[in-house]
């Protein structure tokens, strides 16, 4: 059975190791009681070793907020999939819209980063989503292009490991989510693309998430959408009270 995943993307909200440890202590306490939900925390890279090395539990996994398109070598300021794997990460966020000015945010970047994440044992959570919607539906072509670019060149045995998170750029950091019907339509669209290009097994088994302004008020609505297997939480995951409430609701 597919497990629901809640991903806490702390972005740059956390400023010190102490703050990271305090927030993580709350999250691991709540997570230890959850039966239906798995939690993934994506801290700022600087604080990943601080919290991951002191944690021996199995209820929370860690994610890189982003990995380089390069495998290793002379790339000042970049962090590789191998480095994240060696520091305790098990997942990697790939292609988040807030990294679009970063290296490799082309479709080629999605392919390279996904490939490197998998090579080093990280499960890629690939963000796909349009900047804006046009009435002619061209945004669907953008999405399709991103999906196919991500999966191209991956061996068949790795395809099911890739998680797609539909996160329309215009819906990030707002007060509420996209309409639930719309989210469902987009999840179906992603599965349709997978069906047409890779067959029914992948279309059925692939994990599809939603991200963009998910908070305690709307998490139940998001997880009630069939074809959605998890959610990525930004702002609300950096607040211990809000995130505790969100996890408790997600577990119901
Ligand atoms: P948000 O961020 O929950 O603050 O909208 C989500 C994300 O960007 O991953």
Q: By three-state DSSP, how is residue 149 classified?
A: helix
Q: How many CB atoms lie within 10 A of CB 151?
A: 22
- CA–centroid distance, 167 to ligand 1, in Å, is 8
What's the gap in Å between 172 CA and the centre of ligand 1?
A: 5
Q: Is 85 in the pocket of ligand 1 (CB under 6 A)?
A: no
For the Cβ of 207 lying below 6 angstroms from any atom of ligand 1, the answer is: no
pLDDT at 2: 61
First to last CA, the chain: 16
Strand runs labelled E in the chain: 4-9, 37-42, 60-64, 91-94, 123-128, 163-166, 207-211, 230-233
Model-wide pTM > 0.85: yes
The minimum-distance atom of ligand 1 relative to the CA of 233 is 3
Residue with the smallest CA separation from ligand 1 atom 3 is: 234
Q: Given this model, what pLDDT does residue 122 score?
A: 98
> What's the pLDDT score for residue 58?
86
Catalytic residues: 96, 167
What's the CA angle centered on 106, arms 80 and 41, to 5 degrees?
45
Is residue 25 within 8 Å of 49, Cβ to Cβ?
no
11 alpha carbon – ligand 1 mean position (Å): 9
Rounded Cα gap, residues 161 and 111, in angstroms: 14
CA 91 to ligand 1 centroid distance, Å: 17
Encode pLDDT of 168-215 as tens digits: 988 888 888 889 999 999 999 999 999 999 999 999 999 999 999 999
Half-sphere exposure (CA, 13 Å, Cβ side) for 110? 25
Per-residue pLDDT, 104: 44
What lies within 8 Å, CB to CB, of 37 at 6+ separation is: 3, 4, 5, 6, 31, 247, 250, 251
Q: Give yes or no for residue 29 CB within 6 A of ligand 1.
A: no
Q: Cα separation of 131 and 248, whole Å?
A: 32
Q: Give yes or no for a contact between 123 and 90, defined as CB atoms under 8 angstroms apart.
A: yes
The CA distance from 87 to 223, in Å, is 31
Q: Kindly state if the Cβ of 8 falls inside 6 Å of ligand 1.
A: no
Q: Specify the ligand 1 atom closest to the Cα of 235.
A: 4
Summarize pLDDT for 235-249 with one digit per residue, the tens: 999 999 999 999 999
- CA of 237, closest atom in ligand 1: 3
User: Which pLDDT does position 102 carry in this prediction?
Assistant: 55
Provide φ and ψ at 127, rounded to 5°. Answer: -85, 125
| Mutation probe of ligand 1 site: the residue of 211, 219, 246 with most atoms within 8 A of C-beta | 211
Question: In this structure, how many other beta carbons lie within 10 angstroms of the beta carbon of residue 205?
Answer: 12
| Mean confidence (pLDDT) of the chain | 94
Task: Take residue 130 and report the two structure tokens written for it.
Answer: 């349009």
- Binning pLDDT at 50, 70 and 90, where does residue 49 land? very high
- Is the pLDDT at 90 greater than 80? The verdict is yes
CA 202, CA 93: separation in Å to the nearest integer?
20
Q: Please work out whether the CB of residue 211 comes within 6 Å of at least one atom of ligand 1.
A: yes
Q: Are 197 and 144 in contact (CB under 8 A)?
A: no
């Amino acid at each position: 059975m597919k497990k629901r995943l809640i991903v806490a993307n702390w972005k740059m909200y956390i400023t010190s190791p102490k703050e990271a440890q305090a927030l993580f202590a709350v999250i691991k306490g709540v997570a230890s009681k959850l039966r239906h939900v798995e939690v993934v925390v994506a801290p700022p890279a600087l604080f990943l070793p601080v919290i991951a090395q002191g944690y021996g539990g199995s209820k929370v996994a860690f994610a890189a907020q982003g990995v380089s398109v390069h495998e290793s070598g002379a790339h000042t300021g970049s962090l590789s999939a191998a480095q994240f794997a060696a520091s305790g990460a098990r997942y990697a966020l790939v292609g988040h819209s807030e990294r679009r000015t970063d290296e490799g945010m082309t479709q080629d970047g999605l392919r390279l980063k996904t490939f490197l994440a998998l090579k080093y044992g990280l499960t890629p959570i690939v963000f796909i989503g349009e900047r804006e919607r046009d009435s002619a539906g061209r945004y669907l072509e953008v999405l399709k292009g991103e999906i196919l670019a991500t999966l191209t060149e991956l061996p068949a045995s790795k395809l099911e490991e890739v998680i797609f998170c539909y996160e329309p750029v215009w819906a990030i950091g707002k007060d509420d989510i996209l309409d639930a019907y719309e989210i469902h339509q987009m999840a179906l669209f992603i599965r349709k693309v997978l069906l047409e290009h890779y067959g029914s097994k992948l279309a059925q088994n692939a994990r599809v998430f939603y991200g963009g302004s998910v908070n305690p008020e709307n998490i139940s609505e998001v997880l009630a959408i069939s074809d959605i297997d998890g959610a990525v939480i930004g702002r609300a995951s950096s607040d211990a009270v809000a995130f505790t409430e969100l996890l408790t609701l997600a577990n119901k």
